[in-house]
Amino acid sequence: MKRQGTEELWRVCFGDTEEFIRLFFDNVYQNDSTLVIEKQGRIVAALQLLPYTMLLEDKEVPISYICGVSTLPAERGKGMMRQLMGMADNELKRRNIPLATLIPAEPWLFDIYRKYGYQEAFFYQRSSYTASALSTESNLHISVATETDARLFPFLDQKLRERKACVLHSETDFEIIRQDLDISGGKLLIATNENNEIVGMAFTLPEEEGHSVFIPEFVYNNDSIKEELLNATAKQYNQATVNYLTPPNTGKAFPKGMAKIIDADYFKKRDIDIQALFSDKNAGMTLMLD
């Protein structure tokens, strides 16, 4: 079976826990979106072409997120990745998907993916916050989100759609992201106002060193709420430092993800200057599961 062979390859190539592997293959994996290369009846290379929607200047565009690119160690250096990436291009053209995206797992992989036509397209700034004696505003309450809170996804979706260019998530994606957060020992913190309306949200994770906390994504209505969430995160984990990512505004930005334009005419017809969005570092992709 394709799924079983792909799952076995994943175990060999990646250092993920069994809990994450179960989450991915039970909830994210799609048989018809998996491309494989077989040798003597065994899958020796594979990748996933996962469907997403990207917001580009108020227009929703279907895209593919490439993840799980893997080759059996004994088969590396034999052109398997080149063959897979060519297969991916052909399949995306067949499906009329105009843009492919991916997140290199290691910095050196940016150079590899450039060879296949990918360019740096998604940028973020990494900042640090040191906890203070900031007293919480009387009308603001910060807590750990409950599983049954129906307000959570609509707020996240609303805030992501306020960005100029952003990969969106479905409500199903959001539930899977929350499960992954739990597996990783993280917590979803929410800020609510005096009317019990959500005004901020932070996805928080303990960092490996154990001396800081990491926020891969958080959204909020104003900078005061942002600071309250940062301070509450530090207190939640009993740490002094919170590291976090934000879309680049000023200062140095680093590349997080890459993209390849599969169908340039698609963007021309819709008057979307995709290259300008990437060059201006206006595109974001966070909370991707791979």
In tens, the pLDDT along 124-138 reads: 988 999 887 655 556
In tens, the pLDDT along 277-290 reads: 998 888 999 999 87
pLDDT band at 247 (very low <50, low <70, confident <90, very high): confident
pLDDT at 246 over 90: no
CB 160 within 8 A of CB 139: no
SS3 72: coil
pLDDT attached to residue 243: 93
In tens, the pLDDT along 40-76 reads: 999 999 999 999 999 998 999 999 999 999 999 999 9
**What is the DSSP annotation of 20-57?**
HHHHHHHHT--GGGEEEEEETTEEEEEEEEEEEEEEET
Long-range contacts of 187-190 (CB under 8 A, 24+ apart): 187/144, 187/145, 187/236, 188/144, 188/145, 188/152, 189/142, 189/143, 189/144, 189/145, 189/229, 189/232, 189/233, 189/236, 190/142, 190/143, 190/144, 190/145, 190/149, 190/152
Calculate the alpha carbon distances from 103 to 22, 191, 247 in Å.
21, 30, 16
For 182-209, what is the mean pLDDT? 93
pLDDT at 194 over 80: yes
pLDDT at 207 over 80: yes
Calculate the alpha carbon distances from 212 to 44, 204, 240, 266 in Å.
39, 11, 7, 44
The number of residues making up the chain comes to 290
CB 239 within 8 A of CB 212: yes
pLDDT attached to residue 134: 58
pLDDT at 257 over 80: yes
Q: What pTM did the predictor assign?
A: 0.92
Running DSSP on this structure, what letter comes out for residue 97?
-
pLDDT at 196 over 90: yes
pLDDT at 166 over 90: yes
In tens, the pLDDT along 71-126 reads: 999 999 999 999 999 999 999 999 999 999 999 999 999 999 999 999 999 999 88
pLDDT attached to residue 210: 67
Calculate the alpha carbon distances from 235 to 12, 45, 132, 142, 245 in Å.
38, 44, 10, 11, 19
Low-confidence winner among 12-16, 205-209, 239-243, 271-275 (lowest mean pLDDT): 205-209
Tokens linked to 167: 């990969």
**Close Cβ partners of 94 (under 8 Å, ≥ 6 residues apart):** none
The mean pLDDT value of the chain amounts to 93
pLDDT at 16 over 70: yes
pLDDT attached to residue 135: 57
CB 255 within 8 A of CB 118: no
Domains in the chain and their CATH numbers?
2-124+252-284 (3.40.630.30), 125-246 (3.40.630.30)
